[in-house]
Amino acid sequence: GLPESPLTAPRAMRRVLCLVLVSVALHISGGPASCSATFELQDPPFPWNSSSLAAPNARGLRNQSPDRTSVLPDLTPHGPRKVQLTAENLFEATAPSHEPSCTFRHLMCKADSSCQHSTPCVKPLLITGAAGSGTHYIAGFLQAITAKRIQVAHEGPSPRVDVLVSWPARCPLAAGSQQPHLHTEDFGFPSKFLKANMLAWGHRQIRNPCLYRRVVHVVRHPLKFLSSNLAFGQCVECWSIVEQFSLPPIMNLTKEMREVVLANRKSHMKVSGGRQWKGRGRELLLEANMVYWVVWNRMIDRVADARYQLETLDLRVLCEEEKLGSRKECQRPMDNANVNRVSHGGSGDSITWSELEAFAPHATRSTKRLALEYGYSDSEED
């Protein structure tokens, strides 16, 4: 696989990881004045796994382990192994191709018996997905029904936590980084416009000292995800995590959107909210979120042991299948109203495929294709 080191060439140090890949064993190409989003696939090629997740069972759950022996063709088998993410190649460039390296697995917080690591702890379970995929609710529900010995946390990585439910989960410490840090200014977000509490939150997410034996991937219908994540545009710290830890890099597709997000932060620095997007700003944010949804989910696919649709996920069944409690504990009565829920305020936004295709046809088609792979209907509007 790729060399098991944080950075594979001195020139990657030009701008700490050429604006995007902190502590990942990849060679980033680009000039000293700007960071190109073209990256070279080394020999052996870029470490995408070809996980083939099983079809849903009767409960709509995908709980079988991926088939790690089925390898899809190389992304560029007949030419130079260079990939630059574009709206046109979004689906193909993120498709699985090869078994992931140990560095990639560790970046994704996945413990593997075949990979050596120096992390101080390995915990049972990570539940992850894209932002706006119900992680608050999942964590709250599991906290109420799992065995007392099981500690469940939402976006609170710690050696004391057995089950981490978190969309931004990345583990660069295990991938070889000594001091993971969010390089927000590299993405156009000056430090004076950061919120101290959110920056501290972001650093906690990327400084997880643990890996996880099992990774469960939760997906949400992309139209609902997009509606929820219009509020995501106010969080420059969140976008910094997305930009810094997306593979392939997405920054060449999100520059205009980041300018819109920064302008929104400037006008809402002292207040919360800021999900009222109009005209081109709304379109840029929706298109960038589609790119994020495809890339982030595809990365998780490479290491996931199971995948579930949020809409059909039975958390009591998950509790039993992941051995988070006895059957009696997992089926204990509880008041659903007491479960912690966080709304991003997207319930009032109606987003349709036809709307998206009008201004971002390529990203929309890739998003629809991946949604079909995840078992959703291409005509589903709600």
Residues 285-341: pLDDT tens digits?
999 999 999 999 999 999 999 999 999 999 999 999 999 999 999 999 887 655 665
Residue 113 confidence (pLDDT):
87
Amino acid 340: pLDDT = 61
Classify the C-alpha dihedral 144-376-230-215 as positive or negative.
Answer: positive
Look at residue 347 in the predicted model and tell me its pLDDT: 52
Nearest to 15 by CA among 261, 187, 257: 187
- Look at 22 and 82; give whichever has higher pLDDT: 82
Q: How confident is the model at residue 14 (pLDDT cuts 50, 70, 90)?
A: very low
Per-residue pLDDT, averaged over 34-61, amounts to 31
Domain-wise residue ranges, the chain? 121-374
Q: Is the pLDDT of residue 25 over 90?
A: no
pLDDT beyond 80 at 108: yes
Q: For the stretch 89-119, what's the b/e string if a residue is b when 16 or more beta carbons lie within 10 angstroms of its beta carbon?
A: bbbebbbbbbbbbbbbbbbbbbbeeebebeb
**What's the pLDDT band for 35 if we cut at 50, 70, 90?**
very low
- Please work out, in degrees rounded to the nearest 5, the angle formed at the alpha carbon of residue 88 by the alpha carbons of 133 and 24: 60
Higher pLDDT pick, 150 / 341: 150
The 10s digit of each residue's pLDDT in 220-229 is 999 999 998 8
- Model pLDDT for residues 246-268, shown as the tens digit of each residue: 999 999 999 999 999 999 888 87
Residue 82 forms beta bridges with which residues? 40
Indicate the pLDDT class of residue 130, thresholds 50, 70 and 90. very high
> CA-CA distance, 32 to 118, in Å (whole number)?
33
Residue 332: CB atoms within 10 A of its CB come to 14
In the sheet with 163-165, reading across from the earlier edge strand, the strands are 61-62, 306-309, 210-219, 121-128, 163-165, 152-154
The CA distance from 254 to 256, in Å, is 6
For residue 204 the two structure tokens come to 């906690």
Q: What pLDDT is attached to residue 119?
A: 78
Indicate whether 120 pLDDT > 70.
Answer: yes
- pLDDT-derived band at 243 (thresholds 50, 70, 90) equals very high
Q: What is the mean pLDDT of residues 82-109?
A: 90
